[in-house]
Structure 1
């Protein structure tokens, strides 16, 4: 791993966060050699900003474009995790992309030994609750989702904020029939059914838990992960009210 390249990218992302202005990603297109270096940037940024100085990350995002892709993961800054109904007053965004997701909560501690053995069925048994969530997509790169993949991963996979609805007891569902609706301001409501990229929000749980515990850390009971959008990324503007609803589970809203 190139310590210098990791630090350069981390310093650039820190500057973007501190100044509220994104930087051009293309300059750093070849700076990171692989996912391990992107994760090292995540750790360098979170360490510099002391997001997890007193406790392990309690909220994560995890996912991929398909079951054939390599899943990626990012810890979420605690100051950007809100309870619905939320108001984003005073929170600075460069972009306000909207993803409607299902968040899942661990019901027990998980260590590396347990995580190593998990398939989807066993991982699901560790979940005790679910909630409708909205992720606001944002970026410290001017290119946002068009930035190189490793730089997006280094930047917490273009994360801005996470809004969580009411927790419901976990219950198995036919995700292929799950209806999701998203209303943004005065735009027409977007409705989708069974459109999770991995087929189910639970599919990648094992990979996520193995990532968390890879260096001996514990994924503690109560840790939350949101695992992918049902509607792609929808554009919103400052002042919009955003409401995401999943039939039979609940709804979440945020005033931008």
Structure 2
């Protein structure tokens, strides 16, 4: 039986609309993950990857699946309006190179070895709840951490042997220009995130645990620039030097 919260999310996503905070906010992480799975099932969507992020080296990660119809390669076009505002985040993605089973004993070395490599990414932030970001954290988690889409470049570098301090992320949109060196990446340790994911996939239930990670899955690892409002009439570009570049055209509604 679909929970009331997930039912409201399914209706909002089906209609492309935003809603006030529904009743039945998940009481714990297990319920929030269950709401994500119920929403995907209700929409008939599969999984194309995951978003996973954390504050610092020791913060407990938060995560959500990326739906199959929301991942784009290199470039996409979005429409941001007053009634349907969108935001953007600059990220580094990992692309899975071979199937990796869910296993509580998987090491970071094994996870990174299974990656095809690193790519540049833009996350399109599209919360379905009007009061976002001033909502309970578990409600945000159940709403896929406000993920509305992901644009990812081709893989440009191996995921092994890379320290986050070696990277830099550049975000540009109109008059906005932000450069963030790896030492300022909010998550501090990017490599621990996919490892946490593999070892905690049972949290989404037995079907997700049986699925594990699949070749081609995209894993985005948290914003380097915070959340930036999408500006109509501009094109946003994220460049990770030595890895790749992606762009999002923001059209006026």
Name the TM-score, length of structure 1 as normaliser.
Answer: 0.86
CA shift digits 1:222-256 (9 cap, x unpaired) = 22211111111111123320000112212111112
How far did 1:93 drift? 8.3
Partner of 1:151: 139
Corresponding position of 2:44? 50
Find the counterpart in structure 1 of residue 127 from structure 2. 139
Task: Note the alpha carbon deviations across 1:75-116, whole angstroms, 9 max, x for none.
Answer: 11222211113223699982321111111122222223xx31
CA deviations 1:5-30 (Å, max 9, x no partner) are: x61101111222233332222x64x7
**Which sits farther off after the overlay, 124-133 or 12-21?**
12-21
Q: Please give the alpha-carbon distance, in whole angstroms, between the structure 1 residues aligned to 2:137 and 2:15.
A: 23
User: Which of residues 62, 79, 85 is equivalent to 2:52?
Assistant: 62
Q: Structure 1's 41 and 156: CA in aligned 2 closer, same or farther, altered over 3 A? A: same
What is aligned with 2:187? Answer: 198
CA displacement at 1:50 relative to structure 2: 0.3
**Structure 2 equivalent of residue 174 of structure 1:** 163
Describe the SS at the equivalent of 1:68. Answer: coil
> Displacement of 1:67 after TM fit?
2.7
Contact 1:23 1:142 in 2 (8 A): yes
**SS, match of residue 94 in structure 2:** strand
- 2-side partners of 1:246 and 1:88: how far apart? 22
Match of 1:188 in 2: 176
Q: What is the total number of aligned residue pairs between the two structures?
A: 243
Q: Write the distance in 2 (CA, Å) between the matches of 1:161 and 1:92.
A: 19
Taking the aligned partners of 1:125 and 1:149, their CA distance within structure 2 comes to: 33
Q: CA distance change for structure 1 residues 93 and 223 in 2, over 3 Å: closer, same or farther? A: farther
- Specify every segment of 5 or more residues in structure 1 that has no aligned partner in the other structure, as ranges: none
Q: Give, in angstroms, the shift of residue 208 of structure 1.
A: 0.7
Select the residue among 20, 31, 48 that pairs with 1:24: 20
Match of 1:10 in 2: 6
**Matching of residues 67-86 of structure 1 within 5 Å:** 67-86=57-76
CA offsets, 1:206-233, max 9 Å, x none? 1111233562413222222111111111
Is the CA contact (8 Å cut-off) linking 2:80 and 2:230 kept in structure 1? no
Please give the alpha-carbon distance, in whole angstroms, between the structure 1 residues aligned to 2:166 and 2:82. Answer: 36
Residues 147 and 249 of structure 1, relative CA distance in 2, 3 Å threshold:
same
Aligned to 1:210: 199
Q: Distance in 1 between matches of 2:168 and 2:80?
A: 32
Give RMSD over aligned pairs. Answer: 2.3
Q: Which secondary structure does the structure 2 equivalent of 1:23 belong to?
A: coil
| Aligned equivalents of 1:224, 1:24: Cα separation in 2 | 30
On the 8 A contact 1:104/1:131 being kept in 2, the answer is yes
Matching residue of 2:107: 119
Does the Cα contact within 8 Å between 2:156 and 2:242 map onto a contact in 1?
Answer: no
In structure 1, what is the equivalent of residue 215 of structure 2?
Answer: 221
